[in-house]
Chains A and B, each alone.
Chain A
Amino acid sequence: MHKKDFCIKNVSYGFGFVAVLALPMLVHNDYILRIANMILIYMMLTFGLNLITGYTGQLSLGHASFYGIGAYTSALLTLRLGLPFPLALLSAGILACIFGILLSIPTFRVDGDYLCIVTIGFAEIIRLIFLNWMDLTRGPMGLPGVPPVKIFGFVFMSNTSYYYLFLALATFTLFLMVRIVHSQIGRAFMSIREDPIAASAMGVNINYYKVMAFAIGAFFAGIAGSCFAHYLMFVGPTSFNVDASLIVLQAVILGGMGSIPGVMIGTVIIVVLPELFRTLYMYRMLWSGLLLVVLMILRPQGIMGKASFGQIVQHNKLFNRLKQKNHV
């Protein structure tokens, strides 16, 4: 990379970071801070799904169930057992991680669209359990009165304090994701996405890395769920249906699978757009369906994507052209 380019990049990142840090001081509007907080929670979700779907190529529509497992775990532990928040947060992540490992087992046998169906089935079973296990989750009534976050005696009450908490967690996630992606593990993930058969021929233990991708992605989804539960102070089964998974997947596809900055942009767009067009709120899922169709046809790689289902198509087209040439 050019030295000048490198300078510009670092300076712009620096400015961006300062702006993000200073946001609560510049904006005193609770509504905007609330949106910012939701963006940060969603970012933890999309980073995780980006690792599973964007980097490893395992299409999952079950991400919201990890989110839900995290939310319910954290809410129940603090409500019923009175556990402190840091412990509840960690256990939410770990339990979601265990379920992530469970869901990764079918990926040994199925992939692509079939895997997507398996993940939907898994998500629906989890949702039905949330809805019907009355003793534990209170079913459709949900769990109200989840206590606010309290760390070492400091109680988080304002949106600003939550903003910094979520910012710290999201930044930690981002840092970890960047490190993973640029390591040998990240290259193994991408090799599985590009060609699993070739990857295993090169000595990549496919199943091991698939489990790892699901475990890491689910862990951060669980963390995000815990944040969501304590921030809203309420957990209900309707927040974790297939539509919620679709929104996360949409952010990843829109931003560009396998691109961390792209996914960040995608998340911001997906969370902010419905708020901008508040009057059109009831049409939210309608245009998001439209967006999926148009994206798939016109720009399957998203805004900044490096890999996409579309690119694989281009490979195939090239391959076919080569084949035809050789035949003629």
Chain B
Amino acid sequence: MIVQQLINGITAGSIYALIALGYGMIASILEMINFAHGDTYMFGVFICMTLLSHGVPPILAIVFAITCGCLLGVIIERLAYRPLRNANRIAPMISAVGVALILRNVAQLIWGPAAYSFPALLPRTIIDIVGVKLPILQLYIFSIALTLVVTFSLILKRLRIGWAVRAVCQDIGAARLVGIPADRIITLVYALGAGLGIAGGILYSIYYNAVFIGMGFSGTMKAFTACIVGGLGNLYGACLGGLGLGIVESLTSGFISSAYRDAITFAVLIIMLVFKPSGLLGQRVGQKV
């Protein structure tokens, strides 16, 4: 039982890690809470589902959905966040809340408030390893998520573009001084973040076999919780936070009550923010007067 729940938790956690990675990058560059992150990927997943139900081949549908999501991320950044980049931190956050509301309601106008089932893209057979039933679906999801996370961190570490992103993360002004086009890098980060989010969202929909409007808001909160648990600004921390959150959640729904699964997320979030806002892996930054 506990092994089963752990496997479920790790699967869900790897998806959260993927979503939190894109979220954490935006948060660490602009110190901004992107409330529209979850709603952006909800939109992308809905596009993917619509294409799939019209008989478009899966690979094409997924690529198209991710491209759409990247574009959406760029447009949102240009219209709603860039004008507020130099403002107090709260103004862009409220603007992001507005964007999230817009996305959610446009999606509701197009697709309606009902939940849809997502086409089964991955096999659902179950294999038996020493008494533990391991659905092959979970294995697939975990390995896809892991591959994406590793690829992404390799890009950040090894490629020139990754260096530029990390430089902008550390100091926008200094990055500009050494000739990095900071605005373009920030746009790129928004696009990548949205793309990773959609990849995570599609995996989530395959795993739970459902697409619904509310997945955006809950995804935002989960990504944020994962980032806070791991330490905002630390991308490994975000991934570990995502995994941990998934495990805690599945243990809660397995042993306490599935009705309070989301409440646990929020409780973890509040406890972390109040007692250790720098996260498990983050370093504490002093307040400047």
A156 at interface by CB-CB < 8 Å? no
Binds B, one of A26-34, A39-47, A109-117, A143-151: A109-117
How many positions in chain B have a CB within 8 Å of any CB in the partner chain? 44
Q: In angstroms, how far is the closest chain B Cβ from the Cβ of A82? A: 30
In the bound assembly, the distance between CA atoms of A309 and B217 in angstroms comes to 24
Chain B residues closer than 8 Å to A117, beta-carbon distance: 33, 224, 269, 273
B90 at interface by CB-CB < 8 Å? yes
CB contact under 8 A between A106 and B91, given known A120-B221, A128-B259? no
In the bound assembly, the distance between CA atoms of A291 and B289 in angstroms comes to 33
Q: Evaluate contact between B94 and A124: CB separation under 8 angstroms.
A: no
A289 at interface by CB-CB < 8 Å? yes
Binds A, one of B49-57, B200-208, B260-268: B260-268
CB contact under 8 A between A121 and B88, given known A292-B97, A292-B101? no
In the bound assembly, the distance between CA atoms of A315 and B158 in angstroms comes to 41
Q: Evaluate contact between B98 and A292: CB separation under 8 angstroms.
A: yes
Q: Would you call the interface of chain A mostly helix, strand, loop, or mixed?
A: helix
CB contact under 8 A between A124 and B270, given known A114-B277, A289-B105? no
Binds A, one of B2-10, B79-87, B121-129, B130-138: B79-87
In the bound assembly, the distance between CA atoms of A288 and B99 in angstroms comes to 10
Chain B residues closer than 8 Å to A296, beta-carbon distance: 84, 87, 91-92, 94-95, 98
CB contact under 8 A between A282 and B109, given known A125-B267, A309-B88? yes
Q: Evaluate contact between A289 and B98: CB separation under 8 angstroms.
A: yes
Q: Evaluate contact between B91 and A309: CB separation under 8 angstroms.
A: yes
Chain B residues closer than 8 Å to A76, beta-carbon distance: none
A202 at interface by CB-CB < 8 Å? no
CB contact under 8 A between A286 and B105, given known A106-B274, A293-B95? yes
CB contact under 8 A between A300 and B87, given known A106-B273, A292-B94? yes
Which A residues from 295 to 318 make CB contacts under 8 A with B?
A: 296-297, 300, 309-310, 312-313, 316-317
B154 at interface by CB-CB < 8 Å? no
Chain A residues closer than 8 Å to B263, beta-carbon distance: 124-125, 128-129
B104 at interface by CB-CB < 8 Å? yes
Q: Evaluate contact between A59 and B90: CB separation under 8 angstroms.
A: yes
A177 at interface by CB-CB < 8 Å? no
Chain A residues closer than 8 Å to B97, beta-carbon distance: 246, 289, 292
B164 at interface by CB-CB < 8 Å? no
Q: Name A124's contact: one of B257, B266, B274, B275 (CB within 8 Å).
A: B266
A118 at interface by CB-CB < 8 Å? yes
Chain A residues closer than 8 Å to B86, beta-carbon distance: 313, 316-317
Q: Name A116's contact: one of B91, B93, B101, B257 (CB within 8 Å).
A: B93
A238 at interface by CB-CB < 8 Å? no
In the bound assembly, the distance between CA atoms of A124 and B270 in angstroms comes to 11
Other than A116-B33, A290-B98, A316-B86, give 11 A-B pairs with Cβ distance below 8 A.
A110-B277, A113-B33, A117-B33, A117-B224, A129-B263, A283-B105, A286-B105, A293-B99, A296-B92, A313-B91, A317-B86
